[in-house]
Chain A
C-alpha cells in the first residue's frame, strides 16, 4: 500500500490523540517510499493546528472554510466531496470515535467505499485484512474488504502507539473552500461539559473503583487523581458507599450499578460475588490488592499484588507523564 490518508480529528481547537496514532500506523503500512496524507477540514482560524500534523505527513490536504469549525456531517460530506477526487490514496483511516462513528459509515455508503470499523490491527498483504474485536473482545475477526480504488477503516482509539512518529518534510495543499448548499437539516449548536458531581458510572469507559482497602474517606483523592488522569470516574464497593465515603450512585454490584467500561481498575476490592456481578463484563479488569488470594484475581485480566497506596500514586504519575499535562484532550 503506497498511499494512505489519515483524517485529522480535532475538537475545540485541539488535535485529538487518535490522529497521531493513525499517522503512526499509516507510516508503518506505507513503508519507505510510500505516502502518508493528512486530511484536514476546518476553519481558516484553525490553520495553526496543522503545525502539529505537517511534520508527520508527506502531504497535507487542508480544506479551509469558515463553516467547518465544528463537525457537521452534511457540511463535512459536501466539503469532502469537493476534494474526494483530489485525494489520491488507497486507504482512508478515521477514528472509531464520536466523530468517526457519525461520519465514516455515511461516507462509505455514499461513495460505496469498502469499509470496516473499529479495527485494532490491519495487514496489507495483497488485499487488506483488518483485525477487529467482536463479542465484547472475546473473539477477534479478520475482515477483508472488497477490492476497490479506495478503502476505509475506522481505528479504535489506543490500538496503535502515537510515539516515535517519523518526521518528514511534507507539503501542504491548502484549499480555500466555499461549501455550497443548505445544511440546516443537521446543525451544530454547542458543546456541553458534563456537570461536575453528576457522574454516571454506567456510561464511563474507564472506572477506578475502590473498596474497603482504601481505608478512609480521606484517601478517595488517591483514586480520584488516577481517574482524572485516565479520563475516567471513581466507583466503589458497597462498604465504601455504606460509609458514605462516596455517594450510593457510585456503588457497583447486585444492589448497585452494573457497569461495562472498557477498563475497570479495582483497588482494594476483594471481589465478593455481589460485587463481581456488577462489573464482570468490563472489557479489561485490573486488580490491585495486597492479598494474592483475593477472589478479584479470579476474574481480573491483570493483577498487581501490592499496596494500593504505593501502586496508585506511581501509576498516576506515569499516566500524567504520558499525557504531557495539557496537550491532550483533558
Chain B
C-alpha cells in the first residue's frame, strides 16, 4: 500500500507571548519553536502502522520553505520512505483552498492508495485542506478519523462525532482520511534517528514543476484572505467572578456556552 502523508510545520505558541507583526496579517515568528503539526504526527504514525502491517511505501509532503525539511526529516526518521517539499514564491498567501490545489498537483504524480492529512493545523486551524484536497482529486474521504481497519481494498474507519459518539464508515481505496489526534500513540523520534537520515535527499518542486500557474495559487488562487489579526481581550491571571451564588453560576454558564464548554 502506497501512502502519502501531508505534513505542516507549525510554530508552537501555547507557551509563547505572541506578537502580531507590522503587516498585522501574521504573527512574528522570531524566537518561536517550530515542529510538526500535532495532527500530522498522528497521521505519520498511522501510515507507518499500516505499512508495518501490509507493506508499501510512505511519502511525506510539506508545502513551505527550507525549514520544513526539519519536519520532513523527522518523518523519515520515524519511518517514511520519501520526502517532498513544495515551495515557490507564488505559493505565498495561499488559503486552505489554494493549499489543497498545490497538494493536489503534487500527489497526482505519486502513486498512492491512501492519502492522510491531519484534521487541522495547530496554528491556523482551518481544518479544511484535507477534505478540499479529496474533493479536488475525486477521492472518497472521511474526516476526523480515530480508527482505521484495512481489509483488501476496503477501509473501515471510525469518525469522531460530538459527545463521545462515533460513526463507522467504509471507504474504497484509493481514499483520503483526515486523522484525529489520539488515533494512536506516535512513536518517539530520537536525535540519533534524525541524525541517521540527515543526508537523505528531499525532493523539491515549485509551481512550474507542478504545472500550476501563478494565478491558480497564492493570494490570487485563494478564495479567502486574512485581513487583520488582533488580540482578543484577556487579562493577566484569572478574572474573578463575584456576586451572589446565582450571579456567579449565571456568569459561568455564559462563559461555558461561549467557550464551547457545553458539548
| Residues of A bordering B, CB below 8 Å | 11, 16, 71-74, 96-98, 101-106, 108-110, 112-118, 129, 133-146, 148, 156-159, 161, 184-194, 200, 202-203, 205-206, 230-232, 262-263, 265, 280-281, 283-287, 292, 297-306, 310-311, 314-315, 317-319, 322-323, 329-330
Q: Is B208 an interface residue (CB 8 A)?
A: no
Q: Which residue of B lies closest to A186 (CB)?
A: B140
| A140-B232 in contact (CB<8A) | yes
| B223-A101 in contact (CB<8A) | no
Q: Is B119 an interface residue (CB 8 A)?
A: yes
| A108-B227 in contact (CB<8A) | no
| B260-A303 in contact (CB<8A) | no
Q: Is B142 an interface residue (CB 8 A)?
A: yes
Dominant SS among interface residues on chain B: mixed
Q: Which residue of A lies closest to B164 (CB)?
A: A194
In the assembled complex, how far is the CB of residue A192 from the closest CB belonging to chain B, in whole angstroms? 4
In the assembled complex, how far is the CB of residue A99 from the closest CB belonging to chain B, in whole angstroms? 8
Of A141, A304, A330, the residue contacting B163 (CB under 8 A) is: A330
Q: How far is the CA of A186 from the CA of B156 in the complex (A)?
A: 10
In residues 127-185 of chain B, which contact A (Cβ within 8 Å)? 127-132, 134-136, 140-144, 156, 158-172, 175, 181-182
Query: Across the interface, which residues of B come within 8 angstroms of A139, CB to CB?
Result: 18, 20, 27, 229-232
| B168-A136 in contact (CB<8A) | no
Q: Which residue of B lies closest to A280 (CB)?
A: B14
Count of interface residues, chain B, beta-carbon cutoff 8 Å: 81
Query: Across the interface, which residues of B come within 8 angstroms of A230, CB to CB?
Result: 256, 261-263
Q: Which residue of A lies closest to B182 (CB)?
A: A203
| B169-A188 in contact (CB<8A) | yes
Q: How far is the CA of A38 from the CA of B226 in the complex (A)?
A: 29
In the assembled complex, how far is the CB of residue B96 from the closest CB belonging to chain A, in whole angstroms? 7
Of A142, A231, A263, A299, the residue contacting B227 (CB under 8 A) is: A142
In the assembled complex, how far is the CB of residue A184 from the closest CB belonging to chain B, in whole angstroms? 7
| A311-B248 in contact (CB<8A) | yes
| B240-A297 in contact (CB<8A) | yes
Of B165, B246, B260, the residue contacting A263 (CB under 8 A) is: B260
| A189-B166 in contact (CB<8A) | no
| A283-B259 in contact (CB<8A) | yes
In the assembled complex, how far is the CB of residue A161 from the closest CB belonging to chain B, in whole angstroms? 7
| B259-A263 in contact (CB<8A) | yes
| B165-A193 in contact (CB<8A) | yes
| A114-B262 in contact (CB<8A) | no
| A262-B260 in contact (CB<8A) | yes
